[in-house]
A and B are shown apart, each in its own frame.
Chain A
């Protein structure tokens, strides 16, 4: 990933409160990567998620809001949205599982592989982590850095100011240290996108 083009924000944060940033992963973050590959290829080789984790832990995958049954035949394209969830409760939760015995109950919305060809070039993909996936992969992805829309971040820090102030050790924008107060005064909504890194420090 080439992230140099974005304004960056690095937050050093108390690990026990990092969960507050998981809602950004829930809302979706942006990845600019080579697309035109299968969901499996994208997640394991572009996002570096271990295949065992994908096979065993990520029980529900949506591609553009459609439940995916086969990660090998579902193709990631420019503008795609991929959402990842652990196994879910409820009849509806069970129907969403990939390749599950209840899959026919949502056949009207299931992902159907397209027969047309696809190109392989760099594209923009939105990734969403839900529930346990967010909890388990979240700290690593936040540490690597995620690209999010400025207006999303702006709303997030206003709503969660109290807990961010309580957990924040230090903040840097584009490599320059800033005071906590300034973090909340910057007009993040004016920035189309930013690279956010959150590092847990004890």
Chain B
């Protein structure tokens, strides 16, 4: 990965490609790469859909190598949803294939001068761009089928559905999985709308003839990779819980804790939770001949995904994630797994963020557009988005816009982005991250290893309330670093509990890059990413007043524990003091 592909979509005479060296971006990958390019090259005050914005797609540092779990890819830009910097990341095959093709980043720049849409084909021989208006308004599934016919089945696709073409703020960028289905998405922040604004419908990658990326120190790399895999397999979360039930294993637990937002964040417990839990989902998949344990990309050893078949045993969608089950389920009062799976399928096909859409439909339900619990009505609202009706255009721009249009106060967003599946009143530390993340309300922003392993800013006393501020800060730093490696964040559980697995991860990176990476280097990397992102947001007009949860979280007790969000504003302002 020693080159960057830039495609100027607004060049005279049509799109123009330039392949250049890494320059000042050498050594960066994933989120570190996307945020560095956006922070340096995108004017913070530009319109997110304008020619000045750039869409950056960057595999992680280790992607394309044989490092286990290294298949994450980052998509960055100025977000149409939040107005700030955005990094959304995804699994699927894209990271590995792009890494093997040698590209550290693809940067889409400028804006097309007409309504024409383009497809981009990249293989070992170079890059070809062609106008193809026959692809207009195709869903991701039909689009990928068409690409398969044209380029064969050894490809990986990066694409947008109709939502991206309509430049909706909830639009995602899709990545195909191992079965060449568009089931993996860089979902958050409307990155699909920016790809739509660049006029690019699909990027087709073919790495035929390209070898895996070679480590600088093969012996060290091989040994570290072996230890890393062993560590992941022996840990109960990464070796047993996630493979057996997927991320939806959380539903019962978070519901029991009273932190499972229900009916648009009105209560923390959903009566129908056990009908949509990971345990029930796994049993349903097994009974229908689906798959419970499945990776989203080659080289995944956790395999937290699966395949969800319909009642007749036919493929409907990949195993919906916990966040999707919550967003389209409990948050809308829906306890029908098949209906939720159908909405997951529609989201993937239209190219939409499931979290944003579930939150938006719940707001629409509060506005009286449908009743809580009415699965059929929820599916119909989603179809409005896919069709691009006037109502669909409103909903497809997210919960904040929908709340404004219909005069709803209860809109669970920070910086315009919907909160995920944990009520911040019950898990207040999560609320600190929602409030202060550079990304808007985002659960993955504080997902990684603890301060007590990394030793950021000294040991944290977890029993003191202020520990939440310190923990959130350190988690955000560590997450930013891991997002840059291309490693899946789910490795966090094994490296949280097992120092030898954490060391194996450091050795893996060191063995690959040839540099001797330490815990301090991980911290420095995470801090540098957040620094870039914070500075961009400040220049885009964000202040500490944007690092707040909506007022009702402070004033309205959440049943069953009747708790409110009690972290003080002045403490939130300390998160980025380091």
* Chain A: minimal CB distance from B416 (Å): 22
* Chain A: minimal CB distance from B490 (Å): 6
**CB of A201 within 8 A of chain B?**
no
Once the chains bind, are B244 and A135 in contact (CB under 8 Å)? yes
**CB of B249 within 8 A of chain A?**
yes
Say whether, besides A102-B450, A105-B429, A131-B278, A92 and B422 are in contact (CB < 8 Å). yes
**CB of B280 within 8 A of chain A?**
yes
CA distance A23 to B274 in the complex (A): 7
Say whether, besides A62-B256, A101-B460, A132 and B467 are in contact (CB < 8 Å). no
Contact of B496 among A83, A94, A134 (CB under 8 A): A94
**CB of A158 within 8 A of chain B?**
no
- Scan A50-90; emit 1 where CB is below 8 A from any B CB, else 0: 00000001011010011100000000000000010111111
- Scan B460-491; emit 1 where CB is below 8 A from any A CB, else 0: 11111101100100010000000000000010
**CB of B221 within 8 A of chain A?**
no
Once the chains bind, are A109 and B563 in contact (CB under 8 Å)? yes
Give the total of A residues in contact with B, Cβ under 8 Å. Answer: 43
Say whether, besides A83-B256, A89-B241, A131-B241, A105 and B250 are in contact (CB < 8 Å). no
Contact residues of A between 130 and 167, Cβ < 8 Å to B = 130-132, 134-135, 163
Once the chains bind, are B250 and A92 in contact (CB under 8 Å)? yes
**CB of B82 within 8 A of chain A?**
no
Once the chains bind, are B475 and A91 in contact (CB under 8 Å)? yes
Dominant secondary structure of chain A at its interface with chain B: helix
**CB of B372 within 8 A of chain A?**
no
**CB of A178 within 8 A of chain B?**
no
Once the chains bind, are A87 and B237 in contact (CB under 8 Å)? yes
- Scan B254-270; emit 1 where CB is below 8 A from any A CB, else 0: 10111100000000010
Chain B residues near A120 (CB-CB < 8 A):
none
Dominant secondary structure of chain B at its interface with chain A: helix
Once the chains bind, are A104 and B429 in contact (CB under 8 Å)? yes
Chain B residues near A60 (CB-CB < 8 A):
253
Once the chains bind, are A108 and B241 in contact (CB under 8 Å)? no
Once the chains bind, are B258 and A104 in contact (CB under 8 Å)? no
CA distance A87 to B240 in the complex (A): 10
Once the chains bind, are A88 and B283 in contact (CB under 8 Å)? no
**CB of B54 within 8 A of chain A?**
no
Say whether, besides A67-B257, A103-B463, A108-B561, A89 and B428 are in contact (CB < 8 Å). no
**CB of A22 within 8 A of chain B?**
yes
Once the chains bind, are A85 and B252 in contact (CB under 8 Å)? yes
Shortest Cβ distance from A67 into B: residue: B257
**CB of A180 within 8 A of chain B?**
no
Say whether, besides A102-B471, A106-B429, A86 and B254 are in contact (CB < 8 Å). no
**CB of B427 within 8 A of chain A?**
yes
Once the chains bind, are B462 and A102 in contact (CB under 8 Å)? yes
CA distance A93 to B236 in the complex (A): 13
- Scan B209-242; emit 1 where CB is below 8 A from any A CB, else 0: 0000000000000000000000000011110111
Once the chains bind, are B279 and A130 in contact (CB under 8 Å)? yes
Chain B residues near A128 (CB-CB < 8 A):
252, 256
Contact of A132 among B240, B446, B447 (CB under 8 A): B240
Chain A residues near B425 (CB-CB < 8 A):
108
Chain A residues near B322 (CB-CB < 8 A):
90
Shortest Cβ distance from A59 into B: residue: B236
CA distance A107 to B425 in the complex (A): 10
Chain A residues near B304 (CB-CB < 8 A):
89
**CB of A33 within 8 A of chain B?**
no
Once the chains bind, are A104 and B244 in contact (CB under 8 Å)? no
Shortest Cβ distance from A155 into B: residue: B275
**CB of B538 within 8 A of chain A?**
no
Say whether, besides A66-B561, A91-B475, A131-B249, A109 and B429 are in contact (CB < 8 Å). no
Say whether, besides A88-B241, A89-B241, A91-B475, A106 and B460 are in contact (CB < 8 Å). no
* Chain B: minimal CB distance from A79 (Å): 14
Contact of B471 among A104, A108, A131, A135 (CB under 8 A): A104
A-B contacts besides A87-B235, A108-B425, 8 pairs, CB < 8 Å: A66-B561, A83-B256, A90-B250, A95-B430, A108-B563, A109-B258, A128-B256, A132-B241
Q: List 8 tightest A-B contacts by C-beta distance, closest first.
A: A105-B429, A104-B467, A104-B462, A108-B563, A130-B252, A92-B422, A87-B236, A109-B561
30 contacts between A and B (CB under 8 A): A22-B283, A23-B280, A23-B283, A26-B277, A59-B236, A83-B253, A85-B256, A86-B236, A89-B241, A89-B242, A89-B490, A90-B250, A91-B422, A91-B446, A92-B422, A93-B237, A95-B427, A96-B253, A101-B462, A104-B467, A105-B429, A105-B430, A105-B468, A106-B257, A107-B428, A109-B427, A130-B249, A130-B252, A132-B241, A134-B279
